[in-house]
Amino acid sequence: MKVKIRRALISVSDKEGIENFARALVEMGVELLSTGGTFAAIEAGGVAVTEVAEYTGFPEMMGGRVKTLHPKVHGGILALRDETEHTQAMAAHGIEGIDLVVVNLYPFEKTVAKPGVKRAAAIEEIDIGGPSMVRSAAKNHRFVGIVTEPTDYGRVLDEMQRKDSSIGEDLRRELACKAFALTARYDAAISRWMAEQEISDGKTCQAFPESFAVAGVKTLDLRYGENPHQQAAFYKTSATDEASVASAEVLNGKALSFNNLVDLDAAHALAKEFVEPFVAVTKHNNPCGAASAATIEEALEAAWAGDPLSAFGSVLAFTRPVNLACASFLVEGNRFVEAIIAPSFDTDAFALLTDKPRWGKNVRLLACGEYGPDSRRPLDIELKKLVGGFLLQGRDLAATGLENLNCVTQTRASDQEISALLFAERIAKHVKSNAIVLARGTRVLGVGAGQMSRVDAVRLAIHKAGDDVAGAVLASDAFFPFPDGVETAIAAGVGAILQPGGSMRDNLVIAACDQHKTAMVFTGERHFRH
């Protein structure tokens, strides 16, 4: 069934393109109703429009909080045109049918994303009349068209021009789906913000309300998911001021893939642990190399040296702008990476990376702005989807310092070893469990990731480190259940070990270290990453 558009109600916060859309509707014989700022914008363009207050006979009041919540508005939207009772009620109360509703909502998400926004200002950006009209029109989409995005103005006009000022059922149903998705996302953003405010204000320490809604906006259709037979898309959740892959600007390269995005997020999460110049080299969601140094180019060279074989086709995260020295190093020889995320790219570095054959058309370059450990939002909940449900948890932002270390062996770690152990532990937090990281100074030598037994993770890290093991330090994301892991490390030449402790056999593990005069410190904090 086609719905002929005779009357449209327009009330938008985002006024992009609204004057031209309104003018085109009027030229097709559509009568316009509008409110507040939207009415003023349309009228200023010389387009015939009636203010909703004039139509309802009831003025806007309370600073604009009350303007469309009126039977003549919602009756005109919700009335079933083929129900006699409805049409009789319309006639009895002077209600005119509204065939098209054009509404977008107050910018709540943008408002609360601003640093330092006051609670009262955020509350005022919670739209009431807008979602009510959107839901009313979407519910009655058999007779009413609902447009919530400026990008759909052209489609609606094209349809009306082709179909004698009518909108077909297929488009109305599609627009109704978009409308309900919009209100769901909007309410989810408000709900989450309100919960975060209660936590921040100390009213509750419960980060997980009885009902938790997740909503996002599709920003990218992906070629496929983890594998070519899986469909995939990327959705962005509520805006925040934290630098992220979701908010980064893509400057160059092929379209981002599912695996690119996952690896970029993992690399960026690791880089956020560091204030100093630091580079993470990530492959298959695990760091295969990482280093900090006095300069970003030195950090890059040291990080790449951690596992040059695995680094080919990896994803990189930088804590400093990518400069020409970094770009020159990357394009030398047989090096190649899939993607780089950094605060920015120096002009000459960007030119080299994008002009170099094999690199230019392929490498994805993302600029995310300045960031560091303090930029992370503790209240940003992590979600893991299961079949039939999902799990929520807080982010693992714990930082181990000297005050958290407990030397449990007769041999004590040197200051140099302690510094290297703390560096290695920050890396281990971002390695899939079971996780073992070998390091020297502020450079990763070898990583054992995702093994089913901890001793195998140790063996893998030693294999990756090669001849550099002697004198290295080792960090483990969880306790050693048996002495075999530390015995394997010590036999390879590891000089000091960090682990959380907590095993029923801790005394045997400590004894193994004491036997070989190897220092071991406990942190008391586990960092599993499944």
Nearest to 474 by CA among 460, 450, 458, 463: 458
Exposure on the CB side of residue 4, measured as CA atoms within 13 A: 5
- Looking at 433-524, which runs of residues are DSSP E strands? 436-440, 443-448, 473-476, 496-499, 519-522
Amino acid at 54: E
139 is catalytic: yes
The catalytically annotated residue of 139, 178, 236, 516 is: 139
Nearest to 283 by CA among 269, 253, 262: 262
Q: How far is CA 203 from the centre of its chain?
A: 27
Q: 439 in helix, strand or coil?
A: strand
Amino acid at 380: D
Tokens of 318: 């930088």
The alpha carbons of the chain give a radius of gyration, in whole angstroms, of 30
Burial 486-524 (b: 16+ CB within 10 A, else e): bbbbbebebbbbbbbbebeebeebbebbeeeebbbbbbe
Angle at 179 between CA 174 and CA 183, to 5 degrees: 150
Residue 347 CB-density burial (10 A; 0-12 exposed, 13-18 middle, 19+ buried): exposed
Q: What is the DSSP letter of 432?
A: P
Query: Cα(28)–Cα(178) distance, rounded to whole angstroms?
Result: 25
The catalytically annotated residue of 86, 178, 236, 284 is: 284
Q: What is the DSSP letter of 345?
A: B
Burial 81-110 (b: 16+ CB within 10 A, else e): eeeeebeeebeeeebebbbbbbbbbbebbe
Q: 11 in helix, strand or coil?
A: strand
Asked if 60 and 66 touch (Cβ cutoff 8 Å), the reply is yes
Q: Which residues pair with 407 in a beta bridge?
A: 521
434 contacts: CB under 8 Å, gap ≥ 6 = 448, 450, 451, 452, 453, 454, 456, 457, 476, 477, 478
21 contacts: CB under 8 Å, gap ≥ 6 = 102, 150, 153, 157
Hey, what's the torsion of the CAs at 439, 445, 449, 452, to 10 degrees? -80
Q: Which residues pair with 474 in a beta bridge?
A: 438, 497
Q: Which residues are catalytic?
A: 139, 284
